Amino acid sequence: MGQQTTNTGEPRVGVYICHCGGNISDHVDVERLEELAGRLPGVAVARRNSFMCSDPGQELIVRDIQEGRVDRVVVASCAPALHETTFRGAMARAGINPYLYEHANIREQVSWVHHGPGATDKAGRLVAAAVAKASLLSPLEPIRVEALAHATVVGGGPAGLKAALDLARRGIRVTLVERSPFLGGHAAGLHRLFPSGEEAATVLGGLAQEVLAHDRVEVLTCAQVTQAQGYVGNFTLAITRRPPSDERELELLARAQGQGGAGRWLPLAGYWPQEAPQEEETRELKTGAVVMATGFTPHRPDQGQYGHGQLPQVITLPELIQVLSQPGDGGPLVVGGKTINSLALIHCVGSREIPGVHEPPDGRPLNEYCSRVCCTAALRAALEIKERFPDTEIYDLYRDIRTYGRGHEDYYLEASRRGVLFLRFAAEAPPRLSGQDGRVAITVADTLLAGEELELEADLVVLAVGLEPGPASELAEMLKLSTGADRFLLEVHPKLRPVEPAVAGVYLAGSCQAPMDIGESCAAASAAAVKAGGLLSRGYVELAPFVAQVQASACDGCGACLEACLREGAISLNAGQAQVNPALCLGCGVCAAACPQGAIQVAGWTLPQYQAMVRAITQAAGGEEAA
């Protein structure tokens, strides 16, 4: 299975074509493509495999290199973002420079968008271009920069605490920056954690104490990052600490001070590790990596949404959970001084919003995503009420029940057994509420009953609000972090690089990235800690070599590259010559395009290589001509 020709004295290119399990081969004639590739100038070997990224597929490459058949590699498969590093790793294992490699994307750029004979034709052109470039590749070496064995964790919730502790245990010094006076995040506002049922004070308080007791961890509360610059291994942050000004925080601090001061757990607030600063102060912090653990913010319902802000009988689920956290005396459920004999839970408030159906009055962005944890949290609250106040009638009004976690479905089943009445409504026909004699009248079209309208009355309505991104927008902008359509911080790839944004040296931990429960947040935090610890433990960082390089003899110091550069500090002028900081360079090539003298080239993507690719594409006007 493969076409083989001989070549002497010139680069020997191996072309490896992936079927991608049918994703490619269903629309591209891979046998024909293999034949065409084998006849291209400079190609020594052309092969195909059902899954090139598999161990057998990689072994084809390794064997051909070790047996001297090829010294350049082209893989025609899916997007390079998925497996480029996989194939570079195979080349390194085979004993040659991993940058003598070029990728042809014939899945996203061909089979997923083209059908019929034209797909094979286009795939042939892309492979021809990749071969032309590969023939001109030169060995490159990674850029090595020193890395400080120090990490900064931003956020003191469960994810931030877990990341800080894991890093410290790996021998990395850590500074944890938390903007509030307390540690524990929103989880500190819970009485018990699901599904274990453990007390939040026990779990989170114990974690906070371990962090505070570790000699490699510095904790700064009432603090936030106000400036950030630098690059992986060598970030410089400005940390500003300010006296608390939030009314709730001041109230909690006053209560804590009256109960014995810092170094203890305060119910519904969290662990108070230290006295708050009396004056604003800013310090500079040198750090090698940043772990973003900035968490989430509960959605605040729009004014008038389901009567919120208008009817005193309408509250949010976090508010109900705080009520349930108070010790009871065995009497009925009391909220706001009123006895509650019946309540209604309404799901998907601030989640799964649909353009054209949900139009926020304040013009805020729609939350089109599912917040994931709300269903389980609402059902857990309903069960607790049934356990403690069994005579309370509970109506659960939902669009869909999504109890996705292990053991979470049991809450739904148990709630049904305990008499919670479930009513399903469509997003286009949400429940209608009105105040009436101190109670709330609810009209809902139940889709389980073919859309029949039901009328209910409840003493209390609880809105299961969704999760929104935490207060990280300013820091994300300073660090040049991308966000998704949902405004949460965006990872490079959800499976291959799940806790890494595109900025090297920055890692994502927990619900700053997406709605997560505490277990998921802590797992992500541990993953981020492993990544950051592995990066910093060697004392240096190796970066990809695809950066701008200046030919000093051709540079006249005009500064056009400096003006065009997209990354502050990546290019500077020194003694009339442009100089590139490879650790900051994005490798985007804007400077190369702007230079009137042609004095700048991007390593691995030089102008001659581009020209060779263009010639190959134009010459391969059809399938036969590609030969």
Confidence at residue 623, expressed as pLDDT on a 0 to 100 scale: 45
Q: Are residue 459 and residue 478 in the same domain, yes or no?
A: no
Residue 3 has pLDDT above 80, yes or no: no
Is 90 exceeded by the pLDDT of residue 321?
yes
For residues 463 and 475, membership in a common domain is answered with: no
Q: What percent of the chain has pLDDT over 70?
A: 97
Q: Which helix (H) or strand (E) holds 613?
A: helix 607-619
- The arithmetic mean of pLDDT across residues 479-505, rounded, is 93
Residues 251 and 366 in one domain: no
574 is in which domain, residue-wise? 547-602
621: confidence class by pLDDT, cuts 50, 70, 90: low
User: Alpha-carbon torsion 452, 453, 458, 464, what sign?
Assistant: positive
My answer on whether 156 and 269 are in the same domain is: yes
Q: Residue 594 pLDDT more than 80? A: yes
More confident residue, 255 or 557: 557
**Is 208 within 8 Å of 200 (Cβ atoms)?**
no
What's the domain count of the chain? 4
Confidence of residue 158 (pLDDT cuts 50, 70, 90): very high
With vertex at residue 509, the alpha carbon angle to CA 588 and CA 168, rounded to the nearest 5 degrees, is: 105
Where does the pLDDT of residue 262 fall: very low under 50, low under 70, confident under 90, or very high at 90 and above? confident
DSSP string covering 263-277 = SEEETTTEEE-SPPP
Residue 568 binned pLDDT confidence (cut-offs 50, 70, 90)? confident
| For residues 136-149, average pLDDT | 94
Asked whether residue 279 is assigned to any structural domain, the reply reads yes
> What does pTM read for this prediction?
0.86
Same-domain check for residues 318 and 403: yes
CATH for 85: 3.40.50
- Least confident range from 55-59, 348-352, 362-366: namely 362-366
pLDDT at position 619, please? 87
Q: Is the pLDDT of residue 8 over 60?
A: no
Assigned domain for 627 exists? no
Whether 46 and 16 share a structural domain: yes
| pLDDT confidence band for 213 (50 / 70 / 90) | very high
Q: For residue range 38-53, list pLDDT tens digits in order.
A: 999 999 999 999 999 9
CATH code at position 320: 3.50.50.60
Which band of pLDDT confidence, cut at 50, 70 and 90, is reported for residue 495? confident
Backbone angle region of 302, left / alpha / beta, with phi > 0 → left and psi within -120 to 50 → alpha: beta
Structure tokens at 383: 């069960």
What mean pLDDT comes out for the span 423-445?
Answer: 95
Examine residue 619 and state whether it is found in any structural domain, yes or no.
no
Model confidence at 9, pLDDT cuts 50, 70, 90, reads low
Give residue 186's pLDDT band: very low, low, confident or very high (50, 70, 90).
very high
The dihedral region occupied by 539, where left means phi > 0, alpha psi between -120 and 50, and beta the remainder, is left
* C-alpha neighbours within 13 Å on the C-beta side of residue 396: 26
Name the percent of the chain lying above pLDDT 90: 82
First and final C-alpha spacing in the chain: 19
Residues 6+ apart with CB under 8 A from 592: 548, 598, 600, 601, 602, 607
Tell which of 513, 541, 569 closes a domain.
541
Q: What is the pLDDT of residue 198?
A: 87
Residues 100 and 220 in one domain: no
438 and 311 belong to one structural domain: yes
Q: What is the pLDDT of residues 218-245, one digit of tens each?
A: 999 999 999 999 999 999 999 999 999 8
Helices marked H in 95-190: 117-134, 158-169
Q: What does the pLDDT look like over 365-382, one tens digit per residue?
A: 999 999 999 999 999 999
621 in any annotated domain: no
Specify the pLDDT at position 249. Answer: 87
Residue 197 has pLDDT above 90, yes or no: no
Residue 612 lies inside a defined structural domain of this protein: no
Task: State mean pLDDT over 206-217.
Answer: 97
* 3-state per-residue secondary structure call for 322-382: HHHHCCCCCCCCEECCEECCEEEEEEEECCCCCCCCCCCCCCCCCCCCCCCCHHHHHHHHH
441 in any annotated domain: yes
Give me the mean pLDDT over the 535-541 stretch: 93
Do 459 and 322 reside in the same domain of the chain? Answer: yes
Residue 625 has pLDDT above 60, yes or no: no
Predicted local distance difference test score (pLDDT) of residue 258: 80
If asked whether residues 241 and 383 sit together in one domain, one would say: no
How many angstroms separate the CA atoms of 556 and 558, rounded? 6
329: confidence class by pLDDT, cuts 50, 70, 90: low
Domain boundary among 443, 467, 491: 467
Ranges 131-145, 253-267, 337-351, 429-443: which has the least confidence? 253-267
Lowest mean pLDDT among 24-33, 53-62, 564-573: 564-573
What's the pLDDT score for residue 6? 41
- Residue after which a domain boundary falls, among 467, 492, 525: 467
The answer to whether position 623 is within a domain reads no
Mean pLDDT of the chain: 93
Does residue 166 form part of some domain? yes
pLDDT, mean of residues 479-499 = 93
Residue 397 has pLDDT above 80, yes or no: yes
Task: Inform me whether the pLDDT recorded for 544 exceeds 80.
Answer: yes
In this structure, the dihedral spanned by the alpha carbons of residues 149, 155, 161 and 166, taken in order and rounded to 10 degrees, is -30
Q: pLDDT tens digits, residue range 72-88?
A: 999 999 999 889 999 99
Residue 627's pLDDT band (cuts 50, 70, 90): very low
Better-scored residue on pLDDT, 8 or 141: 141
Residue type, 291: V
CATH number for the domain harbouring residue 586: 3.30.70.20
Say whether both 76 and 117 belong to one domain. yes
Closest CA to 214 of 252, 182, 180, 173: 173
Is there a single domain that holds both residue 449 and residue 319? yes
